[in-house]
Structures are given as C-alpha cells and as structure tokens.
Structure 1
C-alpha cells in the first residue's frame, strides 16, 4: 500500500523535473536555434551509427558463411560499414565547434536570466538576507553544470538511441534478452539518481560553510584585507578555519563516494549474470542449429555494446538529473525574484521640485522580526529648499533612514510623505530619479573615472550636469588631474592598467555621481570630507560649492 501511495508523489516529481528540463532546453534552443538544430542532427546520426554497424557485421558474416558464399554482397556491406565509421569522424571537428558555440551562448543566456532576475529585486529585503547570499553562491556554482547541459544531453541521447537500436536487434534473437538487460540496468539508474541527489543536497547544505571557505580565501588574497591580515598575523588563524571546513566537506564527500562504490558493485554483479545467461542461451541455440554464426556475431557485438551503453546511459542520466536539479534552482530563483515592497501601478510621478518636503510620521523599522528596532516612532520634517543635517551616534539609524527615503525598505509602521503624498503612491523609478544619494558603503566601480561619475545620470529625469561640472562640485576634478588619462583612466586594479584611489578620493567620485543627476532631493550618510564645510562654519579656498541649479530637500 505504501508503494501505491507514493506513486502520485513520484509522478508529480517527474512532471516537475520534465517541466524544468523543458524550460532549460527552451532557454538553450532560444540562445542559438540553428546551431542547436544542427547539433541535434549530429546526435541522431551518432546514435544510429553503432546500431547500423552491428547489423552490417551480421550481414557480412552471413554473406561469407552461407553456401554459396556471396563475396560481392559482403564487400558492399563492408563499404557501407566503412562509411558509418567515416561520417562520425568527419562530424567530430564540426561538432567540437558547435558545442563550444552552444556552451558560450548558453552561458550568456543563463547569465542574462540571472541578471534580469536580480534587476527585479528593486529593494534590499532579500538582497541583504544571509539566505539570499547562500542562494546566490549556490547559483554561481550551478552555472558551470548548466553550461555543460548540452554535452550531457548529447551523450545521453546518443547513447539512448544506440541502446534502443541494439536492444531491438537483441530482441530478434530472444525477446527476453533486452528486457532482462533493462531490468538489470534499472538499479544502476536509480542508484545514479540517488547519488546525484545526495551530492546536490550535500552541496546545498554546505552553502554557508562553502561561503565561509570562499571568504577565508578572499581574506588572504584580496588587496583590501592584505594589510590587516599581515600586520595582525591572521594568516594561520584563517587557514586553520579553512582547513576545518574543508575536512568536514571531505568527510561528507567520502561517505557519498563509498555509497556509490557499494551500488556499483551490486549493479556490476547483475550485469554479469544477465550477460552470462544470454551468452549461454545464444550458444545453445546455435548448437541446436536455430541461430546462424552471424547471429552469434550480432549477439556478442550487440550485448557488449548495449551493456556498455546502458552503464553510460545510467551515468549520464544521473548527470542530467543533476543538471535538472540545478535548472530547477535557477528557475526558482528567477520566478521568485519579486520585490518585497509593494509597487504602485501605474503610480504617480514624483514632483520635479518638492513644494513642502519630506515628512516622517510615527516611523518605526527593524531589519527582521527578531532584531531590535532601529527606528521607533520617528516624527520629522525635512523642509524643501533647505539642507537638513541628521546627527546621531553610530547605529542610531541614519543610514537606515536614507534606505527608507529611497524605498530600499518600507517602514514596519508609520508613513513617509513627499509633498503630503505617501512615498508608496509614487512610481518607484520616478521617485528614485528625483533623489541623489551617497551611501556610507558607496560602490567603487571598475570603470573609467568618467563612467564612474556619468552612470549617476542614467536614470535621471532631469537635465544632468556635465561630468566635469559634477567633478568640480565634489572635488573629483583634483583626482582627474592626477591620473594619467584624466577622466578616461580605468579605476581599481581589477583589470590590468587600472589605478587605485584612496578612500577620500573615492568619496569625491561618489559625491560627483550623486551631483550629476541634478536631483531635487539629495542625501548622504558618508562622513563629510574635509573640504565640505557645514553651514555657519568658516570656509577655505579648497571648499567646493554644492550644485545650486535646483532647490533641494
């Protein structure tokens, strides 16, 4: 009864797997339809060639041993046999180029799917969660197996086509032979599926430890952490932690491998019994005169090739099942990439120039249900046209407030108004285009200096400043003058020839990126640089003017 109760669940899982494979194949075919079609033709040709060879060999033997012998007919079969050997050889060179092209295009298509999904996450609720980071790391590991899906499909289909043809030939000798061989192969297929799922689950369960291991490697090799690691002598400390995690992963992998060996020995025993029994039957039938010498040649050729291909089909089936698991994870990531904040549809356009400003009414917020509140029942008014300074100790919630103003998060309770209208009523892109911000952990893009500044205006609805003007306002023009290619200098050392800057210089570039968009509302959670003076303080010749083209809130 238990077995029957499991059937609906098994069928549902099979349907889910087939649907994932269908979506994966559709994605791969859409990336390169003509190349995929040619490649499919090669798969069919390669799969049928071994079957034709076995049948031709039988015909050759029968033509030579029958009375009278027919050598001319045998030579015709031999010639066709030679052609079946030449064609796959000719295909190999072209096939290598096709699979290389398919892999590159599949990689681009999969990466594009991941990037498109990431752009849908317009808020930070998922992005900043540890679970999302684990999922993203797993997805990065999934990309490589997904790129090889074409190879696995090729190997699986080629072997399956050949196997079906060989089983058909064996069935001409005795219908039970292919059935027994298939029954002997089922435990192997199930074992491969079980092992692949165990490997996949082990990798998924080790997501956080694996991310820790990657962090330890990065700490010891990345320039940003090199100074403190060496000054404080932390190399051995992190190396020890890496080894502990690696040993744990190795123990789990060893357990999986030992299980695989046990299953392989069991499956090998079944194969030996079936092959031996089949050979005894064919020999007995030949001795009784019921089968010809050509039939013996067919059996020996077909049974050895069929058994070998059955083993490969089981192994490739396990690999393909692994790909299906990763494809499911990919599409789960894509399908679940939805913002956690509500989006107004169609939503109002944010005002070009705020009339009254921004008002917070009883705003409270915490990053999770278990975390302590960061903001609690905050009331505040940020008047339009004025510069408002928010002062507080570290951890007081200044950066969090900016995240709420830009709707990277929404308040847990309370409301934020812009010109008397709830922020959630505005179209998100329109609202953010009216805000310039410099976060405390601003990004250091591996782009040229010009691009590092100009990308701030890409989503702006206003007439932006020029790069040079924005740089003068922030002090980044001084940075440009020191660089070899001025604004066209590649920044960071991620790529050859790039230049690294100091933290203060990067801050000036981040400010220029905010200034260039001419947004009516500007915010910064970074400490004020030395050249930027607060109102009512003495200024110096190095001070830079805040852009005055528009009123700001």
Structure 2
C-alpha cells in the first residue's frame, strides 16, 4: 500500500507540479464536457415527453437543456483542447527533464553493466512517453468519472433495475484490463529481444561498420538474425493480442445481448403505461453513451494501468538512484596529494557474478609518481582504473586518498580533481573546439588552454587540416561535417584529457591504441613531462595502462596484475632482474620486435 501511494503521489505530483493552474482548469473543463452529452440526451427525453403529453413537462425545459448543452460543449471544446495540449507539453517536458536528471545523477556506472538493470532502464526509456501523457490520462479519468455518474443517474431515472447494464459493462472493463496486461507482460518478456534487435540495427546502419560488414559478408546473417529475433518477439506478442481479442469480444457480445433485452423490457413497460415515451427515447439514445462509458472506463483502466506501471518503473529508478547516490560524505576531495593513493585489501565483483574481478589488492601509488599497470587481457587493469575513478566502489576493502576513504568524498568533486584518456573514447560529434573543451568546459573560450591541450595531445596537425579549424563540425552525419580517422579521433580525445592541466589523478587506459609505437612513445614522453609538472605543484599521480613495454618502462612504478591480483611491483629494471612474470612478458614482446 505504501508503494502504491508513492506511485500515485509521484504521478499526481508530476502533473500538477509542471502546470498547476492549467491542470486544475483542464480538469474542470473535461468534467463539464463529459456531462454535457448525457444531459443533452436527457433534454431530448424532456422534449419528447412534452410533445407527447405523456408527462406534464414544459417543452421549453427540454429545449433549454439541449441549447445549454450545446453552448457549454462549444465553449469547453474551444478552451479544453489548447489548455490540455499546453498542460500535456509542460508535463512531458517536466518528465523528460526529471528522467535525465535522475539517470545522469547516478555517480557510478554499474547500472550500465548489469543486464537486469539495463532491461528496466530500456523499458523506462522506451515508455517514457507514457509518463509524458500522464496528465492527459488523468484528465480522461476525471472525465470518465463525471460521465459515469451522469449516465448512472439517467438510468436510475428510468428504472433502478437498469443499473445492471453498467454492472455488466464492468466485465468489459475487466476484459480490457486483462487484455492490456497480457500485452504488457508479453512486451516486457521480449524486451531483451527488442534491445538486441536495436543494437544489431545500429551496427548495420553505422557507416563506420560498412567496410567490415561487406568484407566479411555478414550483412545477410545480420539481417537474418534480426528477422528471427523480431519473428520470435511478434509470435509472443500475437498470442497475447489474440487472447485479448477473444476475451474482449466475448464480453462485448454478452453486453450487447443484455442491452437489447433492456430495450425490449422498457418498451413493454411503456405500452403498459409504466414508462413514458421519453424514457424509451432516452434509453435508445443513451445506448451509445453506455457503450462509450464502459469503453471509456475500459480504455482509462488500461491507460491508467500503463501510466501506473510506467510511474512504478520511474519510482523504482528514483529509488535505485537514491540507493546508489553515494550521498553520505564527510570530507572534501583534497586540492593536492601529500602521501598518495592507497588500495587496501580491495576486491571487486559484479553483482550476481561468481568470481571477483579484483581480489585483495594492496597497493600504494605515491604522490607525484607515474604508475603503469601491466597484465594480460582480463587481468583487471581497466576495472582497477574505474575503481580509482570511483566509477565503482570496491566490494570489499577501501581506496584511501592521503589516508581518507574515497567513499567519504563527493564523487563529482573527486572527478573534478582528475582527468582521463581511454581506449574506448567517445567520438563526440560536436565542433572540434567543443570536442576538446569537454575536458574542461569552463575553458571553452580559452584559446591558450585549447592550444596547450592540442600541443600536449599531439593534435595540432589534426586541427590544422580541418577546413574551419577548431570551429569545424565533426561527423559525416551532418551536412557540413568532416569525418576523422581513428587516430585523429584518438588525438582529439588525448587533447581533451589534457584540458585539465594539473589533475591529482591522470588515468590513461591504453589511450594511444590507435597510434603507432613511435607516436605512442612520443606522447607518453609528453605524459611523463606533464606528470612531473603536476607532481611539483599538486603531487598528482599518473596511472597508465599499455601493452607496449617500451612505453611502460618509463614509469616510476610498474604493477603487474594477473587474474585480478597484484603479483609483482617495482621499477622496470627491478622487475626484469626479478625474472618473474613481467620479465617473461617483456622478453616475449622484445623477441617479437627483434
């Protein structure tokens, strides 16, 4: 009950917070508009009774009710639609802003790497429009309540026994709800297939993949796999739809038979003098309205269910974001490092996985040092980098910054003290200026800072070849955009990493993988110079990951990882002299070059 109340409060609060006055006026207009149609029908009854003389009712009353209904309906229609559309637009804008704020506010990245969480996030993203139409559904619900109350009153005026018609109509509400629920269950059950189809479609249409798709001749296989996934998905959806049609059709057939019997009964009563001619006309005219009422309630039950389910997922997302907000902080991130960064008994495992990616890591990264992480693929290097960046919190143990637990510091504040370059860098298709300045947006217009970053990232030659320099639009998807090679994109990503000149922590996770060894060596000499500069002013630590030992040997400290454990630590000369795992890897690579 508590969660249901929270979901309802979130729904109503979202609608009325976005447009309180518009929502209030719209609710009133929709309610009035929903009453006018059945009341005009009642006016026709009064008019017929007056004309036939079966009931002593002034004809003017019937005409007055009909005319008044037309006038109110006209005014409501003129005002209701623009007011409702404006309120709807504001609510949709509020919902999408809240979704972005909540999702972007999660400081870690675990929700991107868990399949169960990703499926739920995909459902929220796919159905976010249902959150946006929450205001409209709410208005329709208000209208249905007003319409239902009026129709019930009119049926009672003929004979109370006719209330059995809407009661039978309630079965249609049930059938529509069950049909909608079956469709939604089928939709959620096949969401993983939908996500996979979308990803395959992205691979197929991305121009960067066109070469390999054609060279390896996998386009046909890709399309065939997409078709199979969609066929499997539609098969499940069709079964749910077919079940819903059979149930809803049977219920509507039964309701139609009951209504025909009611008409015959009222006609018989009129011939017996127990009902007026106006009562017969009223029942005949109100038939479509009863059907509309039950259909409207059925539709509203369905859409209210959809909106409630969508807001339930949204409420789950808010709870998830709150639980993973890392909001309990007791210290600030330092402005300089005195002793360095220590990993004490650090282990990390993905939720639901059997093994640990990192196990009992004990390591000290001295202030002012350059530390290289070495190991075979899957050794845990990138995971360790992400733990240092506090994209993950350790499953056990702690990361200490000058003796203070990193978890007690605001994650956003810590990241302002660091910079990074990654192998899987993002190709931001903005202007070249913006693509680089993302590294420190506060200096977007600082030409000197941009020039320094481009020089240190060895990206000056990239910008000099662009038709409009830093103001060139990147990306072929734009009419005036320029496409870059992988190496050019990587140099801009490196320049982006250098926008923050003296970070406390510089993370370089194979950031030069697309460059040749000579270019990488030259760039890492730049990194080393920057590290020494940062060390003198802030005690900053540089952590680099590379498979090229000609680069790694420049580091002050080399850490060798194997299966998530630290097995060797030392300088290049010390580790070679030790004759262990590092020496073996170094010799293998050196032999390949010889």
**Aligned residue for 2:100?**
115
Shift of 1:500: 2.7
Counterpart secondary structure, 2:399: strand
**Aligned residue for 1:268?**
252
Shift of 1:480: 2.5
Counterpart secondary structure, 1:395: coil
Q: Is the 8 A contact 2:88 2:133 kept in 1?
A: yes
Shift of 1:183: 1.9
Report the CA distance shift for 1:474/1:395 in structure 2 as closer, same or farther (over 3 A).
same
Structure 2, gaps ≥5 residues long: 542-594
Q: Does 1:143 align with 2:128?
A: yes
Counterpart secondary structure, 2:360: strand
Structure 1 window deviating more from structure 2 (119-128 vs 525-534): it is: 525-534
**Aligned residue for 2:12?**
25
Counterpart secondary structure, 1:338: helix
Counterpart secondary structure, 1:409: coil
CA distance in 1, matches of 2:5, 2:414: 43
**Aligned residue for 1:385?**
368
Q: Does 1:279 align with 2:286?
A: no
- Match among 451, 467, 474 for residue 434 of structure 2: 451
Q: Is the 8 A contact 2:423 2:509 kept in 1?
A: yes
**Aligned residue for 2:565?**
none
Shift of 1:494: 4.8
**Aligned residue for 1:74?**
59
- Match among 163, 171, 176 for residue 156 of structure 2: 171
- Match among 242, 267, 270 for residue 258 of structure 1: 242
Report the CA distance shift for 1:468/1:548 in structure 2 as closer, same or farther (over 3 A).
farther
- Match among 21, 37, 45 for residue 24 of structure 2: 37
Q: Is the 8 A contact 2:30 2:80 kept in 1?
A: no
Q: Is the 8 A contact 1:126 1:340 kept in 2?
A: no
Q: Is the 8 A contact 1:191 1:260 kept in 2?
A: yes
Q: Does 1:220 align with 2:204?
A: yes
**Aligned residue for 1:105?**
90
Q: Is the 8 A contact 1:532 1:543 kept in 2?
A: no
CA distance in 2, matches of 1:85, 1:236: 61
CA distance in 1, matches of 2:135, 2:403: 56
Q: Is the 8 A contact 1:449 1:489 kept in 2?
A: yes
Report the CA distance shift for 1:94/1:506 in structure 2 as closer, same or farther (over 3 A).
farther
Query: For each residue in 1:420-468, what CA deviation from the matched residue of structure 2 results, as whole angstroms up to 9, or x when unmatched?
Result: 33323433333222211112212222332222232322599xx997223
CA distance in 1, matches of 2:522, 2:453: 21
CA distance in 2, matches of 1:88, 1:257: 36
Shift of 1:30: 1.2
Report the CA distance shift for 1:479/1:105 in structure 2 as closer, same or farther (over 3 A).
farther
CA distance in 1, matches of 2:76, 2:465: 57
CA distance in 1, matches of 2:419, 2:3: 45
Query: For each residue in 1:291-328, what CA deviation from the matched residue of structure 2 results, as whole angstroms up to 9, or x when unmatched?
Result: 22222222222244223321232133222212211121
Counterpart secondary structure, 1:390: strand
CA distance in 2, matches of 1:158, 1:419: 63
Query: For each residue in 1:40-61, what CA deviation from the matched residue of structure 2 results, as whole angstroms up to 9, or x when unmatched?
Result: 1221121111122012111211
CA distance in 1, matches of 2:43, 2:352: 72
CA RMSD of aligned residues (A): 3.1
Q: Is the 8 A contact 1:493 1:499 kept in 2?
A: yes
Report the CA distance shift for 1:490/1:334 in structure 2 as closer, same or farther (over 3 A).
farther
Shift of 1:127: 2.4
Counterpart secondary structure, 2:111: coil
**Aligned residue for 1:5?**
none
Structure-1-length-normalised TM-score: 0.87
- Match among 382, 405, 409 for residue 388 of structure 2: 405
**Aligned residue for 2:41?**
54
Shift of 1:344: 4.5
Query: For each residue in 1:501-529, what CA deviation from the matched residue of structure 2 results, as whole angstroms up to 9, or x when unmatched?
Result: 22222222222222222313211002434
Report the CA distance shift for 1:133/1:494 in structure 2 as closer, same or farther (over 3 A).
farther
Counterpart secondary structure, 2:343: strand
Query: For each residue in 1:133-153, what CA deviation from the matched residue of structure 2 results, as whole angstroms up to 9, or x when unmatched?
Result: 211111112112233333333
Q: Is the 8 A contact 1:121 1:339 kept in 2?
A: no
Shift of 1:165: 0.6
Q: What are the residue-to-residue correspondences of 1:361-376 with 2, within 5 Å?
A: 361-368=344-351, 370-376=353-359
**Aligned residue for 2:332?**
349
**Aligned residue for 1:522?**
506
Report the CA distance shift for 1:484/1:166 in structure 2 as closer, same or farther (over 3 A).
same
Report the CA distance shift for 1:470/1:339 in structure 2 as closer, same or farther (over 3 A).
farther
Report the CA distance shift for 1:391/1:430 in structure 2 as closer, same or farther (over 3 A).
same
- Match among 312, 322, 326 for residue 310 of structure 2: 326
Report the CA distance shift for 1:289/1:517 in structure 2 as closer, same or farther (over 3 A).
same
Query: For each residue in 1:60-108, what CA deviation from the matched residue of structure 2 results, as whole angstroms up to 9, or x when unmatched?
Result: 11222229999xx535643552442354345445444333323332222
- Match among 216, 219, 227 for residue 232 of structure 1: 216
Shift of 1:402: 1.0
CA distance in 1, matches of 2:399, 2:47: 87
Q: Does 1:432 align with 2:415?
A: yes
**Aligned residue for 1:292?**
276
Report the CA distance shift for 1:401/1:532 in structure 2 as closer, same or farther (over 3 A).
farther
**Aligned residue for 1:125?**
110
CA distance in 2, matches of 1:103, 1:365: 45
Shift of 1:357: 2.0
CA distance in 2, matches of 1:148, 1:416: 45
Structure-2-length-normalised TM-score: 0.81
CA distance in 2, matches of 1:315, 1:67: 39
Counterpart secondary structure, 2:166: helix
Shift of 1:545: 6.2
